[in-house]
C-alpha cells in the first residue's frame, strides 16, 4: 500500500491509476490524515488477472485457418 499527499496525487493521477490497475492500493493523505483510498477494481478481474488478456494463451487453432471451410463455388449460392 502506497501513501501519497493529495498534491502529489493530483500532479500524477494517471500514474497512480495505472498502479491501481496493476493491483496496488493507494491511500491519499490531506494534512497527514487519510481522506481516500484508491483500490483495484475486482469487477475487471478474473482469477487474479485483469479481463483484458486473461485468456491469453488459451486458444488454439485446430485447422488451417487460411483455407475456407466451404468451396468457393458455394460462396454465393442463393444470390
Domain 1-43 adopts which CATH fold?
Answer: YefM-like fold (3.40.1620)
Question: Structural domain boundaries of the chain?
Answer: 1-43
Average of per-residue pLDDT across 4-16:
94
β-sheet with 33-38: strand ranges across: 2-5, 26-30, 33-38
* Stated pTM of the model: 0.53
Q: Is there a contact between 41 and 22 (Cβ–Cβ < 8 Å)? A: no
Regarding predicted confidence, which is higher, 40 or 15? 15
pLDDT digits (tens, 9 = 90+) for 25-69: 999 999 999 999 998 876 656 666 666 666 667 766 666 667 777
Per-residue pLDDT, 73: 80
Q: Is there a contact between 26 and 4 (Cβ–Cβ < 8 Å)? A: yes
Residue 68 DSSP code? -
Q: What's the alpha-carbon Rg for the chain, to the nearest Å?
A: 24
Amino acid at each position: 500500500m502506497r501513501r501519497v499527499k493529495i498534491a502529489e496525487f493530483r500532479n500524477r493521477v494517471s500514474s497512480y491509476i495505472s498502479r491501481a490497475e496493476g493491483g496496488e492500493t493507494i491511500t491519499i493523505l490531506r494534512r497527514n490524515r487519510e481522506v481516500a483510498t484508491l483500490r483495484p477494481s475486482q469487477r475487471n478481474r478474473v482469477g487474479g488477472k485483469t479481463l483484458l488478456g486473461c485468456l491469453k494463451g488459451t486458444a488454439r487453432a485446430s485447422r488451417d485457418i487460411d483455407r475456407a471451410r466451404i468451396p468457393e463455388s458455394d460462396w454465393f449460392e442463393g444470390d
